[in-house]
Amino acid sequence: MSQTDASQIIAGVDEVGRGPLAGPVVAAAVILDSTKPIEGLADSKKLSEKRREELALEIKAKALAWCLGRAEVEEIDHINILQASLLAMRRAVEGLQLEPDLVLVDGNRCPDISYPAQAIIKGDSKVAEISAASILAKVARDNEMVQLHQQYPQYGLDGHKGYPTKKHIEALREHGVTAIHRRSFGPVKKLLVVDYA
């Protein structure tokens, strides 16, 4: 993990949920407290679900500030997934209770925010603040998909979390498209065309 100037207030930002066919895109912004280090921060995708859950609790307890932002399915379909991801990240940063001096964003694009920002490719495995943000965003989104599974059990959302697995696409074919599905995404769009044909 790279070190930055200790006196600077750094916010790390990451989003989860670009690829799924269902559900929102969720972003998190986190400002860590250098006096309360958190062991084991890493890219959320490289951690077990149990470890992510544990770390998410620790991040919320120790961070100087954290906030979740999101863009809903309707917004994704209206402005596209890239713009929706940037919007979710902007909402997360703007919701922080503490103003950052610098915002470090995972990936190659920064949201339109009023703070100095820098995009870092693979930032979730290089910068502690971004790792923390990736963990909070993933835990929040996964938990939401598990809740949506209660409403739409036939789609298996608790397992694939909305991603385009074989099981999910088969369920879409069998049960149709719901309000939580992204209509602008290819596999869903294709089924809508069939429905109206």
- Sheet with 65-71, edge to edge strand ranges: 65-71, 25-31, 10-16, 102-106, 117-120
The Cα 165–Cα 157 span in angstroms is: 10
Whether pTM exceeds 0.85? yes
Q: Is 128 helix (H, G, I), strand (E, B) or coil?
A: helix
Question: Could you tell me if residue 192 is inside a domain?
Answer: no
CATH of the domain at 85: 3.30.420.10
CB-based burial label for 111 (10 Å; 0-12, 13-18, 19+): buried
Is residue 164 in some structural domain? no
- Contact predicate 118/102, CB 8 Å: yes
- Residue 166 maps to a domain: no
One digit per residue, the tens of pLDDT, for the chain of length 197 reads 444 556 899 999 999 999 999 999 999 999 999 999 999 998 888 999 999 999 999 999 999 999 999 999 999 999 999 999 999 999 999 999 999 999 999 999 999 999 999 999 999 999 999 999 999 999 999 999 999 999 999 999 999 999 999 999 999 999 999 999 999 999 999 988 755 54
Parent domain of 139 = 10-143
Residue 169 lies in a domain: no
Helical packing angle, 186-196 and 166-175, nearest 10°: 20
d(CA 12, CA 43): 12
Cβ-Cβ contacts under 8 Å for 44 (sequence gap 6 or more): 14, 16, 52, 124, 131, 134, 135, 137, 138, 139
Instruction: State phi, psi for 184 to the nearest 5 degrees.
Output: -85, -5
Q: Is residue 178 included in any domain, yes or no? A: no
Q: Would you report the helix, strand and coil content of the chain in percent, each value rounded to 5?
A: 45, 15, 35
**Largest pairwise CA distance in the chain:** 61
**What pLDDT does 197 receive?**
41
Contact 73, 179 (CB under 8 A): yes
**Within a domain: residue 16?**
yes
| Domain tally, the chain | 1
Is 125 inside any structural domain?
Answer: yes
Is 156 inside any structural domain?
no
Q: Give the DSSP H or E segment for 13.
A: strand 10-16
- Give the model's pLDDT for residue 5: 58
